[in-house]
A and B are shown apart, each in its own frame.
Chain A
Amino acid sequence: MASLIRSWIPLLILQSFLVAIAFGSKEAEEFSEALLLKPLPDRKVLAHFHFENRAPPSNSHGRHHHLFPKAISQLVQKFRVKEMELSFTQGRWNHEHWGGFDPLSSMNAKPVGVELWAVFDVPQSQVDTSWKNLTHALSGLFCASINFLESSTSYAAPTWGFGTNSDKLRYGSLPREAVCTENLTPWLKLLPCRDKDGISALMNRPSVYRGFYHSQRLHLSTVESGQEGLGSGIVLEQTLTVVLQPETTSVETNMQPSWSLSSLFGRKVVGSCVLAKSSNVYLQLEGRLGHESKNVDTEIEAHKLWKNADFDLSLKPDRVLRESSSLLFIFDIDKSSDSEPFDLGLTWKLPSKWSCQQAPLQATRFLMGSGNERGAIAILLKATESQEKLPGRVVTDGRCTIKANIFQIFPWYVKVYYHTLQIFVDQQQKTDCEVLKKINVSPSTDKVSSGMLEMMLELPCEVKSAAISIEYDKGFLHIDEYPPDANQGFDIPSALISFPSHHASLDFQEELSKSPLLSSFKEKSLVRSYTEVLLVPLTTPDFSMPYNVITITCTIFALYFGSLLNVLRRRIGEEERFLKSQAGKKTFGLKQLLSRLTAKIRGRPIEPPSSDSPAAQSSFLSSKLIFKIILVAGAAAAWQYFSTDN
């Protein structure tokens, strides 16, 4: 042992030189977790879990990860993904009550089902192949049928309507995909502490899936290391947004329900994840204007913030931040453990009402028309009450306008006629040039690719409502292309309405390095909202027809060939004729019968087996005949004898 140590000392000196050289690539990976709780005006509670994992760029080709999930870094390396977002959602984000203007709803209000978009770093000709392979790899990783996005009929290549400006961007959506435990489990397995420790241990599956809205999202972006082929830095952001309704015992509907972490999730936080750099719980309250004073330094003032006439928090926050009308309480859960679990609770004492800020225009989409031949799609944009108070109104040529981008994908069986596009502003039809500033149309090809429409509208600020309608014809699918439940209908994926002149951000004046959640809120993000998914009933064939066709064809064939064979081969009345001839043989005479029979035998050689030589035949018959006569005579005599006996 000692000799071994002695021999290693000079080599250790050498090692120190190497350490100095290799020091540059030894930046550490970082992981941080956060939970944001926010009571919503319609008696519900929003819980937003945020996990961020950063892998620094490295100079070496292969690298070790100790916090960052290897599956993701392999995905990025293999498919040369520059940016990607995958979300699984069930439920509809209620923009009226839950808000549409804050960064949380802009980033987390996602369309129903699976939505995937990715930007690649490969030559233009290989983007589609990379997309196809990426969808397969993701379907294996997340136990979902994302591989259905591989066919060119289900994805599109948006240009400017989506918000990301790139020609190597592909976007696809599956509205009918179910989301369940089997999707959450692999998503949680990407975290260093899985779902065993820290904030992710709160995720009780029945509680999460009981919510009104749940959306798990994975967003990754690469930070270029500057050199070709070397490991680039990756930032992986995983968020889970759940809207829950706490159970209340109080009968009055004016009061907001009181809740705590254990009543929402059935569990408490027992310690943070040891691998996390920061682990915090935030509570955000909106509409807190007025009675709070600016001065939070004094103890009494600070105490009044979290225990006052309106509400009570069960734990003391570590810090309190304020931004215009929202109040943020920060709790550090490093100190919690098994013996003192962290169970934050909020008790309302007085009824309070507030409203969340909404996007300038609220978008809904619906179908018009009836029948299985044609119809129309309409998007309605209605002004919300917060329209006047919003920043970011653009003034051009003395007029104030709101810019709205609309991005839609139409599957190929919804054959849209782009020339029937009509725009109505305040129920008056406008010619396109007045309102439509930019339009990009990619028409669909039957069974090959889907159609895409991107529009930029410039509406006056005082607009009350705007409507866009477009007509379409319904296409026919081949019988193999129908899903098993074809009579339910087919989905048109959600349209995306974004407002490029408005940016949502929440700035709490906090140092950025501490909290990734707050720094992500601080970045200016595009205000966007997704519309509903439309269900289009298409004509379905009679699926039992192949069976019917086979049955009727076989019946016809059977009848045809059967009757043909009967006509050709069967002799009807052959039996009767034979018997008649037999009977006739007795009355007419032996010789005539014999001659008839021999004639028949000679005429048709395939007669029943007694085809001996005519002479033998005749002798045989004659002896048989004589025997029969004798038998009958004997029977008659016996009958006579016995009958006279009585």
Chain B
Amino acid sequence: MLADDMACNARNEYPAQVFNNENHKLNLYGDNVEVDYRGYEVTVENFLRVLTGRHENAVPRSKRLLSDEGSHILLYMTGHGGDEFLKFQDAEELQSHDLADAVKQMKEKRRFKELMIMVDTCQAATLFNQLQSPGVLAIGSSLKGENSYSHHLDSDVGVSVVDRFTYYTLAFFERLNIYDNASLNSLFRSYDPKLLMSTAYYRTDLYQPHLAEVPVTNFFGSVMETIHTDSVYKAFSSKTSNNKINSEMPVNQLSEHDELQKANIPNDELKTEKQKCPYTQMRVDLHEKLEKFENVDTVVNLGIAVMVFVVMISSSLL
């Protein structure tokens, strides 16, 4: 949900580009960005509808949060906020009790297994004061009475490009490589109040697992390297059974001035590799043979014809 069009704004010296750093090295508005709600559609009503899933019939699937009881959801909100509220579009406010109510409805409808809320506004920790549903983890960039500050100003573009909390979050992730098994605990402990100029407060009383055992990839997507193998079911032959393999995800890019971003990662635990058994071998051969046919339609027609033939024969025999 982006309320303002920053990248293609007429005042942006670098059209279609949004940077998180003055050195302009990384363009966050890459070629694969998709924004579901933007402009005047970013309202508290639409936000709560997305969370609770109460849409009109005509709303397309790409604008719905299609989550179920096994999903991990990341909810990231930034903007202007204060004591128990967050501003939307300079005209509306999202209150902490509304958010808690929506999360409660989500829990009742079993729309998530684990939910992580990250808020980067002034007095952010007050926004999740009223939460009571289990399975929710929340972190805010500042406590009540504290402000959250921006990191640095880009004099080329003319605005501050990133907030401190977001900057240090991104710095943490940039230090990791793909195969690191960093935990949420290390992420939360990496925030230094002196550098942030505010206290990053997090709330774990509603979240059961220990933070040191939860990998960050549970919520933050990662780009998985796909390795091509010649034959199926032979990859990763020596992994143990409790290793979760995520399918390829888009990079969850946190760009500045976002109102909200969601990453919905289904927590399907894949099985380990299949053993080589004659049944699967036969299936593999059949599959390869079928791929040789160029016209799948004719094979289907052929199959139907065979069936008709057999029926005719059997009925004539009887």
Contacts and interface: CB of A to CB of B under 8 A. Distances in A.
Interface of A: 11-12, 14-15, 17-19, 22, 26, 64, 90, 132-133, 136-137, 139-141, 143-145, 147-148, 150, 176-182, 185-186, 195, 205-206, 208-210, 483-484, 543
Contact of B33 (A132, A136, A182, A206): A182
Nearest to A140: B60
B31 A484 contact: no
Give the top 5 A-B pairs by smallest Cβ distance, nearest first. A140-B60, A180-B8, A178-B5, A209-B15, A136-B58
Given A143-B38, A209-B8, A14 B32 contact: no
A90 B15 CA distance: 13
B212 interface: no
A15 B301 contact: yes
Given A133-B58, A181-B7, A22 B298 contact: yes
A586 to B, nearest CB: 55
Contact of B16 (A12, A205, A483): A205
A484 B5 contact: no
Interface of B: 5, 7-9, 14-17, 29-36, 38-41, 58-63, 89-92, 295-299, 301-302, 305-306, 309
B250 to A, nearest CB: 12
A483 B42 CA distance: 11
Contacts of B16: 180-181, 205-206, 208-209
Nearest to A16: B298
A18 B308 CA distance: 13
Given A182-B34, A186-B34, A15 B29 contact: no
Contact of B31 (A136, A178, A181): A181
A15 B38 contact: no
Contact of A145 (B40, B296, B305): B40
Nearest to B303: A11
Contact of B62 (A17, A141, A179): A141
Chain B CB count within 10 A is highest, among A15, A18, A90, A181, for A181
Contacts of A208: 16
Given A178-B8, A181-B31, A209-B16, A483 B40 contact: yes
Nearest to B289: A4
A150 B56 CA distance: 12
13 contacts: A15-B298, A15-B301, A15-B305, A143-B62, A144-B38, A147-B59, A178-B38, A178-B39, A180-B16, A206-B14, A206-B16, A210-B15, A484-B92
Contact of B8 (A26, A132, A179): A179
Contacts of B34: 143, 182, 185-186
B282 to A, nearest CB: 11
B7 A180 contact: yes
A380 B305 CA distance: 70
Nearest to B12: A209
B190 to A, nearest CB: 31
B40 A140 contact: no
B302 A137 contact: no
A232 B301 CA distance: 22
A195 B32 CA distance: 11
A141 B306 CA distance: 42
Given A140-B36, A148-B40, A182-B35, 10 more contacts: A18-B301, A22-B301, A136-B59, A136-B60, A139-B63, A147-B59, A178-B38, A180-B7, A205-B17, A484-B40
Nearest to A211: B15
A210 B17 CA distance: 11
Nearest to A138: B60
Nearest to A179: B8
Contacts of B298: 15, 18-19, 22
Given A148-B40, A206-B17, A11 B31 contact: no
A139 B46 CA distance: 14
A22 B31 CA distance: 42
A137 B57 CA distance: 11
B302 A11 contact: yes
Chain B CB count within 10 A is highest, among A180, A208, A483, for A180
Contacts of A205: 16-17, 29, 31
A185 B302 contact: no
Contacts of A179: 8
B60 A139 contact: yes
B297 A143 contact: no
A45 to B, nearest CB: 17
Contacts of B295: 19
Contact of B89 (A15, A186, A206, A484): A484
A140 B302 contact: no
Nearest to A132: B58
Chain B CB count within 10 A is highest, among A137, A139, A176, A483, for A139
Nearest to A63: B297
Contacts of A210: 15
Nearest to B304: A18
Contacts of B41: 145, 147-148
A154 B63 CA distance: 22
A17 B31 CA distance: 48
Contact of B32 (A139, A177, A185, A543): A185
A136 B55 CA distance: 12
Nearest to B309: A14
Nearest to B5: A178
Nearest to B15: A209
Contacts of A141: 60, 62
B313 to A, nearest CB: 13
A478 B214 CA distance: 50
Contacts of B5: 178, 180
Contacts of B309: 14
B61 A181 contact: no
Contacts of B9: 178
A195 B90 contact: no
B8 A181 contact: yes
A484 to B, nearest CB: 4
Contacts of A178: 5, 8-9, 38-39
B37 to A, nearest CB: 8
Contacts of B62: 140-141, 143
B8 A18 contact: no
B102 to A, nearest CB: 21
B182 to A, nearest CB: 30
B305 A18 contact: yes
A181 B245 CA distance: 31
Nearest to B6: A180
A210 B7 CA distance: 11
A295 to B, nearest CB: 47
B90 A150 contact: no
A196 B14 CA distance: 23
A140 B305 CA distance: 41
B8 A137 contact: no
Contact of A14 (B17, B31, B305): B305
B65 to A, nearest CB: 13
B256 to A, nearest CB: 16
Contacts of A148: 40-41
A641 to B, nearest CB: 61
Contacts of B36: 140, 143
